[in-house]
Amino acid sequence: MRNIFLILASSIAAIAQTTTNITGDITITFSQDTFENEFIYVESGSVGPLGNATLHISAIAPNDHGTILTPIQVTAGFYFNALDSITASFTLNDPNLLTNPGTFSGGKITGGTGAYAGATGSLSLAFGASATITGSGSLTAGGKTTALTLTNFHGSQGCPGCVREYTNGTVSGTITPFGAVTGTFRVDNTTASDTQDGKATITFKLNANDSFNLVIPLDANGKSSVTSIVSGGTGAFAGATGSFTTSSVTDMDTTVRAQGAGTITTAAAGAPIITQVKTAFGAPVIASNTWLQINGTNLAPTNTLSTGVDWSDAPEFASGKMPTQLGAIDSVTVDGKPGYIYFYCSAVTNPNCATDQINVLSPLFDSAQGPVQVIVTRNGISSAPFVVTKVSLSPTFPLFDTKGHVVARHLDFSLMGPASLFPGQSTPAKAGETIILVAYAMGLNGSVPQTEGSSTQTSTLPFTARCWISGLQANVAAALISPGLYQMNVTVPAQTPSGDNPIACVYPGFPFFPGGLIAVQ
């Protein structure tokens, strides 16, 4: 198993920066490996009488040396826009249903967002030929019960590249001076090989407030490195740094006992602390050549302009490069490589920034996937490393508004969207019209190799995305790469109804983040 990792935590009051010597005697107990995204459907269609929606279905399955076991947990999400969604779950006890699904019955609606927050109910799905789905159910939300009928769902089945393999387990033992500890851990085995090093991570909580993380590098044989890195935490340990050196490891097949010592240093007052890293407008993962959103505290000066600071005047552009330093932000590194800083804002001066925020274009990565570290340095002070999962693709559409209207233009480059979006400037698409969409995180592998840091490059993508608008397949005519942006020319199907229509896309098989809308008139 490519796994040994632990995170240590303590219930102590918030204090000024201090360094604490620790010793540990930890036992890690392994559970079954799991496959995530073993089963993928991405569709759009009608949820009567609620309206059209995008449907994402995925599964998490235990496995034994690559053999799927049960029970299999299936999640189905219906996204009417970027605000309103419904979530349902199924428990399957027949592994053959992943290759020949037939009918999923006994599903439970477990919640939702926006208008469907707190929703409950039931759901059944029937899978037909050519990745079509129908179904029925009952939804209770806001004190009202509604019978549901699913029709006209069309889209894509399967995504081999989306599958991720994890080893999970539990942690118990003693960390002095903090006492008895427990925890859970995870190792990402997706790209495990005889030559590829990896990392193990864990999030352990002693209570609801205080935790700190330990990231343990693994060599290609799955053995832990001697020294592991403290990588932030929560409560008193938000922004904590330090290290833990293993002096003894005893491997007992299903358990591992690790002993060692190290130090933990709490964050200095005013030090930058990262609380989130995600694909902008998308999932909490990252990929190459991708716009990232980094949130936290003390990431930007409290006197930052109310409009924020962007790279418009960066001198690097004069030489065809993108800036790796911007204003008070000395650097943002992603997996040890410099990112390209586009924008930052302060929650103190900008009401649109709920927390301090930095937008960064990620560097060009190798093909390895798994946990990587993000570090922000401001005015010479670095944050604790924040661990986020690197994937090969994480496609998403940037949005004009919170409801979910995608960033789009007509072929004359005028703005496309509801007339009310930008009064006097935006107009809806027409059925049969070809429009220009912009996407993020569609990866590399273009016809012309990308050059690290270049602001002027362009290329074409090796695959063509597939898209469905309200259950109707749309023709996708082009896909071009530039730094952080991907252009797709999409023809709106002639039968598309007027109004807001959900768009579901895959590339190549990887689902776009759901919730995007195309306005049609």
Do residue 289 and residue 191 come from a single domain?
no
Is 317 within a domain? yes
Q: What is the pLDDT of residue 219?
A: 64
Q: What is the distance between the alpha carbons of residues 456 and 260, in angstroms, rounded to a whole number?
A: 50
End of a domain among 111, 146, 161?
A: 161
Given 126, 146, 161, which residue is the final one in a domain? Answer: 161
- Is 1 domain-assigned? no
Same domain for 383 and 425? no
- Whether 400 maps to a domain, the answer reads no
Number of separate domains in the chain: 4
Taking 70 as the threshold, does the pLDDT of residue 76 lie above it? yes
Tell me: do 144 and 169 sit in the same domain: no
Do 185 and 83 lie in one domain? The reply is no
Q: What percent of the chain has pLDDT over 90?
A: 71
How far is Cα 318 from Cα 249, in angstroms, rounded to an integer? Answer: 54
Least-confidence region, from 127-141, 151-165, 180-194? 180-194
Distance CA(374)–CA(61), nearest Å, equals 30
Question: At residue 304, does pLDDT exceed 50?
Answer: yes
Rounded distance between C-alpha atoms, residue 410 and residue 312, angstroms = 25
Whether residue 339 is contained in a domain is answered as yes
Looking at the fold, whether 42 and 147 belong to one and the same domain comes out as: yes
- How do beta strands 459-460 and 466-469 pair? unpaired
Q: Are residues 261 and 174 in the same domain?
A: yes
User: What CATH number is associated with residue 333?
Assistant: 2.60.40.10
Q: Would the pTM of this model clear 0.75, i.e. be above it?
A: yes
Whether 157 and 168 map to the same domain: the answer is: no
Q: Is the pLDDT of residue 368 over 90?
A: no
**Is residue 399 domain-resident?**
no
> Do the domain assignments include residue 214?
yes
Query: When comparing pLDDT for 177 and 224, which is higher?
Result: 177
Task: Name the residue range of residue 188's domain.
Answer: 19-32+164-265
Last residue of a domain, one of 135, 161, 187: 161
478 and 496: one domain?
yes
Is there a single domain that holds both residue 258 and residue 216?
yes
Same domain? For 40 and 149 the reply is: yes
Q: What is the pLDDT of residues 43-52, one digit of tens each?
A: 999 999 999 9
Give the CATH number of the domain where residue 27 resides.
2.40.350
> Is residue 2 in some structural domain?
no
| Residue 500 domain flag | yes
| 248: its two tokens | 């003894």
What's the confidence (pLDDT) of residue 12?
A: 34
Tens of pLDDT, residues 412-439: 999 999 999 999 999 999 999 999 999 9
279 and 385 fall within a common domain: yes
Exposure letters 70-81 (e unless 16+ CB within 10 A, then b)? eebbbbbbbbbb
The 3-state DSSP class for residue 63 equals strand
CA distances from 59 to 89, 137, 159 (A): 10, 20, 12
| Pair (79, 146) in one structural domain | yes
